[in-house]
Amino acid sequence: MSGCTFQSNQALGEDADGGAIMQWLGGSELVGNHFIDNLAVGSGGALRSADAEVFVVNNQLRGSDPEAMRFSYDDVGLVANNTIQDSVLDGIRSQTSGSYVGTGPVLDIANNVITDSGRYGLYVTGRHRMTFRSNLIWASAEADLEVTEDWEEGPDNLYAAPALSAEGVPDADSPVVDAGLDMSRWFTQDIDGTERPLGGAWDIGAVELEP
């Protein structure tokens, strides 16, 4: 699924999950979409995923309630080059229950911008096998990272103001410019279809700055 706008959707039933999208088993590719002000009474204002194949890249997510993305159980895949802003609680959350006996989510979380979260930028509880590398996290209300299990943070994460426009476009002097990992094994464009990279390296976030 690509090029869509999901705005002001709500999952309102008791403990309802996935304000915009709920994926259980199977999974789908979410590429180059805009998620704006989506709400779930349960979890995953923009996206709730469980036991699914995950490919979430080049999306812009703003104003998600309670968190932008929630992963659990045997989710596996890639979460890369998304721009996540103004989540009511958490930017990205991963959670598995105490009785769960699997490995937990196996996710590569890379090149994402996560800013102005109402609680945590990344919140991980329970089992997981995730890598978290070359992301920029900034201005989380309580902590940029909150991880309750064994955790080894990946390299090159940034903790600095991202200097983005209201549309998520980085300024020329933004720390996200040329600071990302090469993800061309999986994709080669940004949210607008611009080829990556345009500078010496990939930019972090959904938008590649055009010189």
Question: Using CA atoms, how far apart are residues 61 and 56, in angstroms rounded to an integer?
Answer: 11
User: Is 35:85 a contact under the CB 8 Å cutoff?
Assistant: no
pLDDT for res 100: 53
How is the chain split among helix, strand and coil, in percent rounded to 5?
0, 40, 60
pLDDT for res 71: 93
Instruction: Name the residue among 93, 50, 49 with its Cα closest to residue 68.
Output: 93
For every residue of 120-157, DSSP letters joined together read: EEEEEESS---EEES-EEE--SSEEEEE-S-----S--
Q: Is the pLDDT of residue 46 over 80?
A: yes
Instruction: Average the pLDDT over 2-10 and give the result.
Output: 97
DSSP state of 189: B
Band of pLDDT at residue 24, cut at 50, 70 and 90: confident
Looking at mean pLDDT, say which of 29-43, 92-106, 138-152 comes out highest: 29-43
| Average pLDDT taken over every residue of the chain | 92
User: Is 104:127 a contact under the CB 8 Å cutoff?
Assistant: yes
Instruction: Name the residue among 49, 24, 38 with its Cα closest to residue 84.
Output: 38
Q: Which residues of 30-64 are buried (b: 16+ CB within 10 A; e: fewer)?
A: bbbbbbbbbbbbbbbbbbbbbbbbbbbbbbbbbbb
Instruction: Dump pLDDT digits (tens) for 57-86.
Output: 999 999 999 999 999 888 899 999 999 999
Instruction: Name the residue among 177, 210, 181, 174 with its Cα closest to residue 194.
Output: 210
Q: Is the pLDDT of residue 104 over 90?
A: no
Instruction: Average the pLDDT over 197-209 and give the result.
Output: 96
Q: In what order do the strands lie in the sheet with 90-95?
A: 21-24, 47-50, 67-71, 90-95, 120-125, 143-147
Q: Is the pLDDT of residue 30 over 70?
A: yes
Q: Is the pLDDT of residue 34 over 90?
A: yes
Instruction: Dump pLDDT digits (tens) for 122-152.
Output: 998 876 778 899 999 999 999 999 987 766 7
Higher pLDDT, 182 or 51: 182
For 66, counting Cβ atoms within 10 Å of its Cβ (0-12 exposed, 13-18 middle, 19+ buried), the class is buried
User: What pTM was computed for the model?
Assistant: 0.94
Q: Is the pLDDT of residue 178 over 70?
A: yes
Token pair 């920029």: residue = 136
pLDDT for res 74: 84
pLDDT for res 27: 76
Q: Is the pLDDT of residue 101 over 60?
A: no
Instruction: Name the residue among 157, 118, 160 with its Cα closest to residue 140.
Output: 118
Instruction: Average the pLDDT over 86-99 and give the result.
Output: 86
